[in-house]
Amino acid sequence: MSYFVFQLKRNPLAIIGIAILLLWIIIAIFAPVITQYTYTEMQPEKQLVAPGEANHLLGTDELGRDLFARIVYGSRSILTVALLTSLLSTILGVLFGFTAGYFGGRVDALFLRAMDILMAIPPLVLSMVVLGILGDSSIGSLTLIVSIAFIPATARVSRGVLLGEKELEYVSSARLRGENHLYIMFVEILPNTVGPIIVEATARFAYSIMMVASLGFLGVGLQPPTPDWGMMVIENKPVITEAPWAVLFPSLAIASLVIAISIFSDFISKVFTHEQ
Site for another protein, rule CB under 8 A: 3, 6, 168-170, 172-179, 188, 191-192
By beta-carbon proximity to another protein, the closer residue of 120 and 177 is 177
CB of 89 to another protein, least distance (A): 24
Of residues 76 and 166, the one with the C-beta less far from another protein = 166
Q: Give start and end residues of each alpha helix (H) in the chain.
A: 2-9, 12-29, 31-34, 67-103, 105-120, 123-134, 139-166, 169-176, 181-183, 190-217, 229-235, 245-275
Nearest distance in Å: CB 194, another protein: 8
Cβ distance to another protein smaller for residue 75 or 158: 158
Neighbours of 140 (CB within 10 A): 11
- With respect to another protein, which residue has the nearer C-beta, 99 or 147? 99
Q: Shortest Cβ distance from residue 6 to another protein (Å)? A: 6
φ/ψ of residue 66, rounded to 5: -70, 120
Q: Least separation, in Å, of the C-beta of 53 and another protein?
A: 52
Task: Report the residue number, 52 or 191, with the smaller CB distance to another protein.
Answer: 191
Q: How far, in Å, CA of 234 to CA of 35, rounded? A: 23
Nearest distance from C-beta of residue 11 to another protein, angstroms: 13
Burial of 270 (C-beta count, 10 Å sphere; 0-12/13-18/19+): middle
Instruction: Provide CB contacts within 8 A for 93, sequence distance 6+.
Output: 150, 151, 153, 154, 155, 156, 157, 158, 200
- Measured between alpha carbons, how far is residue 261 from residues 51, 80, 257 in Å? 27, 14, 6
CA distance 120 to 93: 17
State in angstroms the smallest separation of the CB of 7 from another protein: 8
Residue 138: count other Cβ atoms within 10 Å of its Cβ. 13
- Would you say 89 or 99 has its CB closer to another protein? 99
